[in-house]
Structures are given as C-alpha cells and as structure tokens.
Chain A
C-alpha cells in the first residue's frame, strides 16, 4: 500500500462543517460556564468568606481587648488627685503609716495619701 492511499483514507476521517461548528459551540459554551463560575467565586464567595473569617477572628479579639469593668458594689472614685509638678518624694522618705498624712482617700481597695489638704487647692 502506498503512503498516498494511506493519507487518502485518513483524510476521509474529518470533521464536517456542521460537526466543527457544533464542537466550537460546545467548547465556547463550556468556557463561558467556567468563566461565570470564576466570577461568582470572586464577587460573592470570597467577600462572604472573608467577612465570616473576620467575624470569627475579630469578635473574640475585641472582647479580649475591651477595658475591664469596676468590681461590683463600689462606686467609681471621681476625686482625681491633683497633678503636682514637684518631684515626688523618694520612697524611703515617705512615712509608711497613713495617720502621718493630713489627707487620706480610699476607694475600691486603693488608698491615696496626701500631705496637704486637697480642699485648699483652688
């Protein structure tokens, strides 16, 4: 058998015009479907999952970082000590007993001792 006969026989195996058009249409349709799926994933699913992940991560963090509230039963102490520009006395100079101070404020388990009367400050 000559190669020409072989070629001729195989040339008969070909896509007709209709089959070619059908193949191209099927491929184009499937490509479009894949593109649409990708668009949906990019525009809808990614933001939704990102928001969900943020909620899962951010809410516990926000709870952990919220300032701790005052203990129950005690009222908040609004008497802020005056700001003094003088250097605070050294620790070894400070008398230890609160009776040595002219003014003692105590609230919420905290005691503030002053060597002067706060009411004198105007």
Chain B
C-alpha cells in the first residue's frame, strides 16, 4: 500500500469527485448511494499504485464507478425507496427543466445513459467509449443512436404532458 498524502487525496477528489458522483448518480438515481460509491471508488484507487497518466486515471475511475454502480443495482440489499425519494432533485438545481432532463435520462437503459454521458459530457469518442465499456465502436454508435431517439421521444412526451 503506497503512502499517499492528504493533499493528493484532496486534489484527486477535488478534480474527479464530481465526475464519479455524476456517473454513480445517473446509474443508481440515489444520492446517498452515489456518495457511498464515490467513497469506495476513491478508497480502491488509493489502495493501489496510481495510474501513471491523467488519461488512465480518468478512464480507470469511470470504469470502476460504472462497475460499482452496477453491483449496487444488482445487490439484493438495495433499499426499495418510493420513486419520489429516489429521484429527489438536489438542492443546487436552479430550474425545473433540469429535473425534467434527468427524469428523461433515467428512463433510458444504463448502457445508453453511460454512453450518452461519456459522449456528450466527457467528450469521449465512440472508439474511446468502446474501450471503456468493453464494446466495439459500432456497438457504441448503435447505443448512442438509440439513446438519442429514446431521449427525444421521452422528452417530447414530457413536453406534451
């Protein structure tokens, strides 16, 4: 186990904490669980030799967060909360439309959600997303295309309502 200073821990969490939190939240839809997942991810990171480059570190964090989120979702001990509590909006939201976007996002399957996030938010290419999610580039293009269609349909449905 390497000796990591508190400054390094704070620096890494400051830089990537939000990203890990977002990935965990859009998979689990539960803020408290997302914080737990973030804690586990960073603990796992600091118990092993740190990746040598920023790119590798970021890719590692994304992969591990997605995997841990999946484990939590599969876990039988997952609490069953009323729907309103699970997608309760964070207090920092400014406009109700942000809550609507997230609600539409949560209606998508996990893989499509993750692919959308990595493509539009983190700016990864389909090839890079394929490496992260262990899928082919074509599979990622298909995921993105489906996600956009579904998102548009859900968004338009919500607009109508």
Query: Chain A: residues with CB nearer than 8 A to chain B?
Result: 1, 3, 5-10, 12-16, 19-20, 23-24, 26-28, 30-31, 34-35, 38
Contact = CB atoms under 8 A, between A and B. Distances in A.
Given A27-B46, A30-B43, A38 B1 contact: yes
Contacts, number: 88
B92 A6 contact: no
Q: Which 6 A-B pairs have CB atoms at the shortest separation, nearest pair first?
A: A9-B101, A9-B98, A14-B18, A3-B120, A12-B93, A27-B42
A61 B18 CA distance: 62
Contacts of B38: 15, 23
Nearest to B156: A1
Q: Classify the secondary structure of A's interface with B.
A: helix
Contacts of B117: 10
Nearest to A21: B10
B1 A20 contact: no
A35 B46 CA distance: 12
A22 to B, nearest CB: 8
Interface in B93-116: 93-94, 97-99, 101-102, 104-105, 116
Contacts of B3: 35
